[in-house]
Amino acid sequence: MSEKTENSKNYGRRDFIEKGMRITLGLGLAGVAGITALKGDKGGYVWQLDPFKCVRCGRCADYCVLTPSAVKCYHVYDLCGYCDLCGGYLKPDANDLGTAAENQLCPTSAIRRRFIEDPYFEYDIDKELCIGCGICVEGCTSFGNGSLHLQVSHEYCVNCNECAIARVCPADAFMRVPVSSPYLIKGDFTVGTATGSE
C-alpha cells in the first residue's frame, strides 16, 4: 500500500504535463494528417465551371496559377449558327466581316474562322492561344446562340486542392466534378442541373 503511494508520489506534476503534451501533440498531428488526407484525396474529382452560372468576369484569365490560364473557350458546334456576322468573333464595329486582326474581338486571335459554304463559317478555338478571358463568350451570348463558353481544360489544369479561380469566382460557378465526366458542355445539360461538389 505504501509502495503504491510511493509510485503515485513519483508520478508528479511534471510527468503529467509531459504526458498530456505528448498526447495532445499526437492527437493534433493525427488530426491534421487526417484532415490533410481527406482534403488531398478528392476521390477522382476535378475542377470545372458551370457555363450557365459564368458571368464572364475575366478572373479566369488572371487568377489561375498557370499562365496562360487553364480555363479555355470551348465551342459547342451543335449550338452554333455558323454565321458570317459572328458576335463572338467580330467586333460590333468591325470594318469588314473578315479575318483582319482589327476586326477580331479576341485579344489573342485564338478563334480561327473558316469558310464552309455561303453563308456559313466555322469557328475553331486554338487552345494554345486562348487565355480564358471570356470576351468571345460575352459576344456570343449577347448576340448569338451562346455556343461559345468557358471550361477548365484538363489538358492544362493541375487540379490544385483549392482552385485559385474558384476562390474569387463571383458567380460561384466552380465545382468539383467526377474525373469520369470532367466537362460541363452546354447542350449536355440545362440551366441549374449541373451536379458536383463545391
Partner 1 sequence: MVNRKSINIVLALLAAMVAFIILFDFVKNRPGRNLENPYEFDVSGFLKVDPSDMISNEYMTLQLPEGKYRGVAYHNNLIYVVADNRLMTVDGNGTITMEVGLEGSPTAVAVGKNIWIAFTDYVAKYDFSGNRIGSWEGYGSRSYITSMVAYNDYLYVADAGNRVIYQCGADGSLIRRIGDKDAATEFMGFVVPSPHMDVDITENGVLWASNPGRHGLVSFNADGTYRSSWSNASANIDGFCGCCNPSDFALLSDESFVTGEKTLLRVKLYDIHGGFKGVFASPDMFDRNGNPPDICVDDRDNIIILDMDRSQLRLFASVTM
Q: Contact residues for partner 1 (CB under 8 A)?
A: 56-59, 61-63, 80-87, 92-93, 97, 105, 107, 118-120, 133-135, 138-139, 141-145, 167-170, 172
H-run or E-run covering 160: none
- Name the minimum Å distance from CB 87 to partner 1: 6
Phi-psi region of 159 (alpha: psi -120 to 50; beta: other; left: phi over 0): left
The answer for residues whose C-beta is within 8 angstroms of residue 46's C-beta and 6 or more apart is 152, 154, 157, 159, 176, 177, 178, 179, 182
Closer CB to partner 1, residue 56 or residue 186? 56
Closer CB to partner 1, residue 171 or residue 185? 171
- Name the minimum Å distance from CB 85 to partner 1: 5
Q: Please give the single-letter amino acid code of residue 27.
A: L
- Name the minimum Å distance from CB 103 to partner 1: 12
Closer CB to partner 1, residue 88 or residue 182? 88
- Name the minimum Å distance from CB 100 to partner 1: 17
The label of the residue with cell 486571335 reads 109
Local structure of residue 189 (DSSP, 8 states): B
Beta-bridged to residue 175, according to DSSP, are 48
- Name the minimum Å distance from CB 40 to partner 1: 23
Closer CB to partner 1, residue 34 or residue 92? 92
Listed residue (116, 119, 111) closest to 88, CA to CA: 111
Size of the chain, expressed as the number of residues it contains: 198
**Distance (Å, whole) CA 45 – CA 144:** 33
Closer CB to partner 1, residue 7 or residue 190? 190
